[in-house]
Amino acid sequence: MAILKFRISWEEDDAIYRDVMVKHTQHFTDLHHIILKAFEFDEKHDATFFRSNEKWQRGREISKAVYEKNYVVPPLMMDEVLIGSEILNTNQQFVYLYDFAKSWTFLIQLIQVIKNADAELNYPLVSRIEGVGPMQYGTKGLLGPNFTDIEEKYDLTEAQDGFGEEGEEGLGSDDDSEEEDAHASDEEDTSDDDAGSDDAGGMFDDSTEAY
């Protein structure tokens, strides 16, 4: 059994890519599903592949469906075309277009053919992830989904909103504490003649507790 390893690069940044592995006997529908899974996209939108050359020029389409648009030649259907039947050279390339309104475009290149691969693995599969991929419905930060967990754990939103007020309140509290300490010190000074060394130790304990 031959396994085809493809590198799927985001057209806008080729440093962001996923390597996927498929059987040569699987269909383009399988490749379509694994690309969306690799980039964490849903499957709600239209999609099509294009045959391509080394300059990424688009040729005949291998489409999810026949759409209402003008075709130079009728498209082939993803669920009917075997991936292996479209491999004409060792660097075979395709262009994948998803969600025609957003025009998510990915460049696909064959990077390895593996003979006698592990038949027990569940193909297709994602074998490598590089870079933070684009978020389908927004912008993904470097922390990705982990940021939500951090935000909930430390309540970052509340801390940020109340930082200034809490700082001011804290400052006022310190001033009040200093005044109280000074007042307490004056009262204690008046009773020094009656107090021994044990009282001095008690005052230190009170100061520490107030701090």
Residue 54 above 60 pLDDT?
yes
By C-alpha distance, which of 64, 68, 62 is closest to 81? 62
pLDDT band at 38 (very low <50, low <70, confident <90, very high): very high
pLDDT band at 175 (very low <50, low <70, confident <90, very high): low
Cα distance between residue 55 and residue 40, in whole Å: 27
Q: Are 20 and 118 in contact (CB under 8 A)?
A: no
Residue 201 above 80 pLDDT?
no
Peptide bond preceding 124 in cis form (omega within 30 of 0): yes
Summarize the confidence of residues 188-200 as an average pLDDT: 45
By C-alpha distance, which of 99, 20, 109 is closest to 64? 99
Residues 10-28: pLDDT tens digits? 999 999 999 999 999 999 9
| pLDDT, position 102 | 95
| pLDDT, position 64 | 97
Q: Residue 109 CB: number of other CB atoms within 10 A?
A: 17
**Quick one: how far is CA 205 from the chain centroid?**
52
Give the pairing of strands 93-98 and 76-77: unpaired
Residue 93 above 60 pLDDT?
yes
Is 32 exposed, middle or buried, given 0-12, 13-18 or 19+ CB atoms closer than 10 A? buried
Residues 94-142: pLDDT tens digits? 999 999 999 999 999 999 999 988 878 999 999 999 999 999 997 544 4
Whether the full predicted model's pTM is greater than 0.85, yes or no, is no
Residues 144-172: pLDDT tens digits? 455 445 445 545 444 444 444 444 444 44
Q: Are 158 and 56 in contact (CB under 8 A)?
A: no
If residue 62 lies in a helix (H) or strand (E), which one and from where to where? strand 58-63
| pLDDT, position 200 | 38
